[in-house]
């Protein structure tokens, strides 16, 4: 990474910054840190673009509400930087469309409101002329409890005061109760439900009501209660002829309003369809312009040169591309001025930039989730491409399950262009890790071949190394070796045997220890590259060497013993038929007694000649490494600090002013280095490393535990769903196999691929974050985030 400084003529600053946004190669630095956002030069332009973006969101909301699909942007070139006149034209276009949509919405809502009022009035008028059972209320009868066939017209003559209107159906019960209690039953009320209009989205369930009572004050009270509960009152004439004429007039007006509403909605839809074709381009253009002015606010203005000064980080290999792009942009503007780009030296820590592709981006994101690498430190993402799917496969080893995972990932890979438009949260997680799952599936097939396991069954791909004698019907059968070694992986003769679990358990446990020690040893070795690059070669001797010796003197020796034990035929017999060696020793007990009785080994438990003295030497090396890690680095740093202070004072004795300055600097350095704090830090680090060597090695046993659990779950699932039907014949066997296969497939996908796969993924993630990265990875950097229009548009989506 290089820190570059750019001098850009003010006239073409906007075009140059926009072009750099298209390139996505520069991370700009704020040269105006003391100014708040409201004191920046381009605040007015940003506010203007904020208003335009709001207009785009308003139009988008209207289009989505209308159920119209917004056309995607097919030509990205159409949204590149535009001139000030083109932005002005876009602002005018958006304002015109917004005002027209607002006007059409207000008109449509007004017409719809009037349509609803006329509809309610029609229901009131029609209900007034019907003959219904009427409930009479008096001081002694309960509400609406008696009926008669008196028409509402007759009620108008009996009760001269009446109130008619519409109220929400959910409030009718409350309305009746309030009227009953307020007027003490001195009224007559009639209500009927209004049929809903399914074409009207804003319609609510309502009832028409008519209330008859005596006295002007009572009628006024009824009106207030009705309006208080949200009812709408309508005045209806008492004469039938007038009501009939009013109904005719209302129906006619409703027909006219319906026609106007349809025409208004069609015009609105037509307008929105036109907008939908260009809205994506408009929105992208506005966002790009807004982002450009945000970046321009980070620049400083040089009034003498009349140019904008920008500083930022960029990959060193891209400098010539940036220069060419700036030169072409300035030339296209027609100005005689030129832009200047020069790298500048700095002691600031650069951002971290890892070039990734579709295959490696998923693995790098795993490391970035743990921490961003310090600039130029060893990136564990490179090794994770191999180690992560391998550790996953050790726990998930099955040819069939790995093949199903491979097929799912292969489908995502082959259809990635079509599926990339799916923005679902859960699907996006799977889709972003499609190449990771592809490799996990491939590695699972490989480890499945080693385990000779396909859906809990075995494959016979070569001649077995065991022969089974003929069974005489009594007792267990013991297989005998035939001198042949199975070509690859577990011998199929082990499957189905009584001691298969004992054999596979022992193998997978030792395999987990070997993988773990190699994985952690490799992580410790990566410290060498970090120490050398950062100019701390002394730390190779002060830190790396005692760590790797401590690790290998205990756990490296354990791995050697495991491999040596595998390589020896412990049951080999001599010519006299006697065993040539003692029984194979228990390695766990061997490691424990290595510390309890150093230098001595029971002859019956001896692994190889000279084992006791060798173990004593290894224990001494491990014990020496502890104080080596503990004290060497702090005392070395203390000595370096004292030598630096001595040289600083000795070289400046002749210059009093300079000596005073250097004395202040030396005092600052002294404050920065505290030997006691360094000792505390190193003590914690030493204890943590020694304990982690034990706990982290044991942590790799999860590889054995999950592999065992996966194999046993697969076996139980096969036995409980499919195997039980193989002994039947006829229709029960066919029906059972169909049902059993369905259950087996669903449970295999749901439990073994879904739950077990997720579990293996999380455990592999933990082994990389804690056991591997924790040995060498600092992860205290910050990521390179260039000014990119593509990233801006993707984040908005």
Q: To the nearest whole percent, how much of the chain has pLDDT over 70?
A: 88
The pair of three-digit structure tokens given for residue 480, joined into one six-digit string: 């005998």
Averaged confidence pLDDT in the chain: 83
Q: From CA 288, how far away is CA 277, in angstroms rounded?
A: 19
Question: What is the model's pLDDT at position 353?
Answer: 93
Tens of pLDDT, residues 400-451? 999 999 999 999 999 988 888 787 788 888 888 899 999 999 999 999 999 9
The pair of three-digit structure tokens given for residue 688, joined into one six-digit string: 């943590």
Answer yes or no: are the C-beta atoms of 666 and 641 closer than 8 Å.
Answer: no
* CA separation, residue 209 to residues 127, 169, 301, 732, 790 (Å): 9, 10, 74, 67, 61
Band (546; pLDDT cuts 50, 70, 90): very high
Question: What is the model's pLDDT at position 252?
Answer: 82
Of the candidate ranges 180-194, 383-397, 541-555, the one whose mean pLDDT is the lowest: 180-194
Q: From CA 676, how far away is CA 679, in angstroms rounded?
A: 5
Band (797; pLDDT cuts 50, 70, 90): low
Q: From CA 173, how far away is CA 728, in angstroms rounded?
A: 67
Q: From CA 261, how far away is CA 241, in angstroms rounded?
A: 30
Question: What is the model's pLDDT at position 363?
Answer: 93
Band (666; pLDDT cuts 50, 70, 90): very low
Position 707 pLDDT exceeds 80 = yes
Position 651 pLDDT exceeds 60 = no
| Contacts for 316 with CB less than 8 Å, ≥ 6 apart | 1, 2, 343
User: Alpha carbon 661 to chain centroid distance?
Assistant: 52
Residues in the chain: 797
DSSP 8-state symbol, 473 = S
| Contacts for 378 with CB less than 8 Å, ≥ 6 apart | 526, 529, 530, 776, 777
Question: What is the model's pLDDT at position 185?
Answer: 73
| Contacts for 182 with CB less than 8 Å, ≥ 6 apart | 221, 225
Question: What is the model's pLDDT at position 660?
Answer: 38
Question: What is the model's pLDDT at position 129?
Answer: 54
Question: What is the model's pLDDT at position 144?
Answer: 36
Tens of pLDDT, residues 569-613? 888 777 777 777 788 888 888 889 888 888 888 888 888 888 899
Question: What is the model's pLDDT at position 140?
Answer: 35
Question: What is the model's pLDDT at position 786?
Answer: 93
Band (76; pLDDT cuts 50, 70, 90): low
DSSP 8-state symbol, 729 = -
Answer yes or no: are the C-beta atoms of 187 and 179 closer than 8 Å.
Answer: yes
Tens of pLDDT, residues 418-431? 888 787 788 888 88
Question: What is the model's pLDDT at position 408?
Answer: 94
Answer yes or no: are the C-beta atoms of 189 and 211 closer than 8 Å.
Answer: yes
Q: From CA 20, how far away is CA 349, in angstroms rounded?
A: 23
Residue bearing tokens 């920008």: 310
Answer yes or no: are the C-beta atoms of 77 and 35 closer than 8 Å.
Answer: no
pTM for the whole thing?
0.78
Q: From CA 43, how far away is CA 45, in angstroms rounded?
A: 6
Of the candidate ranges 56-60, 73-77, 134-138, the one whose mean pLDDT is the lowest: 134-138
User: Alpha carbon 137 to chain centroid distance?
Assistant: 66
Q: Name which of 529, 433, 517 is nearest 694 in CA terms.
A: 517
* 3-state secondary structure string across 280-325: HHHHHHHHHHHHHHHHHCCCEEECCCCEEEEEEEECHHHHHHHHHH
How many beta carbons lie within 10 A of that of residue 678, not counting itself?
A: 16
What's the average model confidence in pLDDT over 95-108? Answer: 88
Long-range contacts of 719-726 (CB under 8 A, 24+ apart): 721/747
Of the candidate ranges 73-82, 303-312, 390-399, 751-760, the one whose mean pLDDT is the lowest: 73-82
Band (653; pLDDT cuts 50, 70, 90): very low
Q: From CA 292, how far away is CA 706, in angstroms rounded?
A: 52
Position 215 pLDDT exceeds 80 = no
| Contacts for 761 with CB less than 8 Å, ≥ 6 apart | 392, 440
Answer yes or no: are the C-beta atoms of 488 and 461 closer than 8 Å.
Answer: yes
Q: From CA 380, how far away is CA 373, in angstroms rounded?
A: 9
User: Alpha carbon 229 to chain centroid distance?
Assistant: 49
Question: What is the model's pLDDT at position 54?
Answer: 93
Q: Is the dihedral of CA 30, 34, 40, 41 positive or negative?
A: negative
DSSP 8-state symbol, 8 = E
The helix or strand, by DSSP H or E, that contains position 28, with its residue range, turns out to be strand 27-28
Question: What is the model's pLDDT at position 664?
Answer: 41
Q: From CA 133, how far away is CA 149, in angstroms rounded?
A: 5
Band (137; pLDDT cuts 50, 70, 90): very low
Tens of pLDDT, residues 62-71? 888 888 888 7
Answer yes or no: are the C-beta atoms of 79 and 73 closer than 8 Å.
Answer: yes
The pair of three-digit structure tokens given for residue 417, joined into one six-digit string: 């262009």
Position 391 pLDDT exceeds 70 = yes
Position 275 pLDDT exceeds 50 = yes
Question: What is the model's pLDDT at position 51?
Answer: 93
Q: From CA 55, how far away is CA 49, in angstroms rounded?
A: 10
Question: What is the model's pLDDT at position 193?
Answer: 78
Q: From CA 796, how far away is CA 789, in angstroms rounded?
A: 11
Q: To the nearest whole percent, how much of the chain has pLDDT over 90?
A: 37
Output b/e per residue, 41-71; b: 16+ Cβ within 10 A.
Answer: ebeebbebbeebbebbeebbebbeeeebebe
Position 75 pLDDT exceeds 80 = no
Band (167; pLDDT cuts 50, 70, 90): confident
The three-state secondary structure class of 26 is coil
Question: What is the model's pLDDT at position 473?
Answer: 63
Position 49 pLDDT exceeds 60 = yes
Position 456 pLDDT exceeds 80 = yes
Start-end of H helices in 700-729: 702-721
Position 249 pLDDT exceeds 80 = no
The helix or strand, by DSSP H or E, that contains position 211, with its residue range, turns out to be strand 206-213
DSSP 8-state symbol, 454 = B
Band (127; pLDDT cuts 50, 70, 90): low
Position 485 pLDDT exceeds 50 = yes
How many beta carbons lie within 10 A of that of residue 400, not counting itself?
A: 18
Q: From CA 623, how far away is CA 617, in angstroms rounded?
A: 10
What's the average model confidence in pLDDT over 30-47? Answer: 88
Position 726 pLDDT exceeds 90 = no
Band (238; pLDDT cuts 50, 70, 90): low
Position 516 pLDDT exceeds 90 = yes
Q: From CA 86, how far away is CA 77, in angstroms rounded?
A: 15
User: Alpha carbon 387 to chain centroid distance?
Assistant: 22
């Amino acid at each position: 990474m290089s820190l570059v400084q750019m001098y850009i003529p003010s006239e073409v600053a906007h075009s140059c910054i926009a072009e750099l946004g298209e390139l996505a190669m520069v991370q700009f630095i704020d040269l105006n840190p003391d100014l708040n956002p409201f004191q920046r030069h381009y605040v007015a332009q940003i506010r203007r673009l904020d208003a335009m973006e709001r207009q785009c969101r308003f139009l988008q909301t209207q289009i989505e509400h209308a159920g119209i699909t917004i056309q995607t942007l097919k030509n990205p070139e159409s949204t590149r930087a535009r001139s000030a006149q083109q932005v002005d034209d876009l602002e005018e276009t958006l304002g015109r469309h917004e005002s027209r949509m607002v006007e059409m919405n207000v008109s449509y809502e007004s017409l719809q409101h009037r349509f609803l009022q006329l509809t309610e009035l029609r229901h009131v008028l029609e209900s007034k002329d019907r003959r219904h059972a009427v409930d009479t209320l008096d001081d002694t009868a309960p509400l609406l409890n008696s009926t008669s066939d008196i028409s509402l017209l007759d009620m108008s003559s009996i009760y001269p005061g009446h109130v008619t209107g519409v109220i929400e159906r959910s409030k009718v019960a409350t309305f009746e109760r309030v009227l009953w209690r307020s007027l003490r039953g001195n009224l007559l009320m009639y209500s009927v439900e209004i049929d809903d209009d399914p074409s009207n989205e804003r319609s609510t369930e309502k009832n028409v009501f008519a209330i008859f009572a005596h006295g002007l004050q009572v009628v006024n009270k009824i009106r207030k209660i009705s309006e208080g509960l949200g009812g709408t009152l309508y005045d209806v004439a008492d004469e039938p002829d007038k009501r009939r004429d009013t109904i005719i007039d209302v129906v006619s007006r409703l027909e006219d309003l319906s026609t106007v509403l349809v025409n208004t909605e069609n015009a609105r839809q037509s307008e929105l369809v036109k907008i939908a074709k260009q809205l994506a381009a408009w929105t992208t253009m506005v966002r790009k312009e807004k982002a450009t002015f945000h970046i321009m606010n980070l620049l400083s203005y040089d009034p003498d040169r009349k140019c904008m000064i920008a500083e930022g980080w960029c990959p060193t290999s891209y400098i010539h591309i940036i220069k060419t792009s700036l030169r072409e942009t300035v030339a296209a503007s027609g100005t005689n001025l030129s832009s200047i780009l020069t790298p500048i030296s700095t002691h600031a820590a650069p951002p971290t930039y890892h070039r990734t592709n579709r295959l490696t981006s998923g693995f790098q994101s795993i490391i970035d989730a743990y921490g961003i690498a310090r600039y130029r430190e060893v990136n564990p993402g490179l090794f994770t491409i191999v180690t992560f799917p391998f550790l996953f496969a050790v726990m998930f080893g099955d040819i069939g399950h790995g093949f199903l995972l491979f097929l799912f990932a292969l489908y995502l890979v082959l259809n990635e262009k079509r599926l990339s438009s799916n923005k679902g949260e859960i699907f996006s997680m799977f889709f972003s890790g499609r190449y990771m799952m592809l490799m996990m599936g491939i590695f699972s097939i490989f480890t499945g071949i080693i385990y000779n396991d396909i859906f809990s069954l075995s494959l016979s791909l070569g001649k077995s190394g065991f022969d089974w004698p003929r069974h005489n019907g009594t007792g267990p059968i013991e297989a005998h070796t035939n001198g042949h070694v199975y070509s690859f992986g577990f011998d199929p003769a082990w499957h189905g045997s009584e001691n298969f679990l004992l054999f596979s358990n022992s193998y997978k446990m030792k395999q987990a220890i070997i993988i773990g020690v190699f994985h952690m040893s490799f992580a410790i070795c990566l410290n060498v590259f970090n120490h050398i690059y950062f100019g701390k070669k002394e730390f190779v001797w002060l830190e790396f060497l005692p760590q790797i010796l401590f690790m290998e003197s205990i756990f490296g020796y354990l791995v050697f013993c495991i491999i040596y034990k595998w390589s020896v035929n412990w049951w080999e017999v001599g010519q006299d038929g006697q065993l040539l060696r003692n029984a194979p020793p228990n390695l766990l007990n061997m490691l424990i007694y290595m510390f309890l009785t150093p230098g001595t080994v029971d002859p019956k438990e001896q692994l190889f000649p000279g084992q006791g003295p060798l173990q004593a030497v290894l224990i001494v090396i491990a014990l020496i490494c502890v104080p080596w890690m503990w004290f060497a680095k702090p005392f070395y740093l203390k000595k370096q600090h004292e030598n630096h202070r001595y040289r600083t004072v000795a070289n400046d004795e002749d210059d009093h002013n300079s000596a005073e300055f250097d004395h202040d600097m030396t005092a600052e350095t002294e404050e920065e280095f505290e030997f006691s704090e360094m000792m505390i830090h190193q003590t914690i680090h030493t204890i943590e490393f020694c304990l982690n060597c034990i706990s982290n090695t044991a942590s790799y046993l999860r590889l054995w535990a999950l592999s065992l659990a996966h194999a046993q779950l697969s076996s139980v699932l096969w036995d409980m769903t499919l195997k039980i039907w193989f002994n039947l014949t006829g229709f029960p066997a066919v029906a059972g196999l169909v049902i059993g296969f369905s259950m087996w497939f669903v449970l295999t996908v749901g439990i073994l691929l879904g739950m077990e796969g997720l579990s293996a993924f999380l455990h592999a993630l933990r082994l990389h974050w804690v056991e591997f990265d924790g040995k060498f990875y600092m992860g205290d950097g910050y990521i390179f985030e260039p000014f990119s229009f593509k990233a801006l548009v993707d984040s908005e989506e």
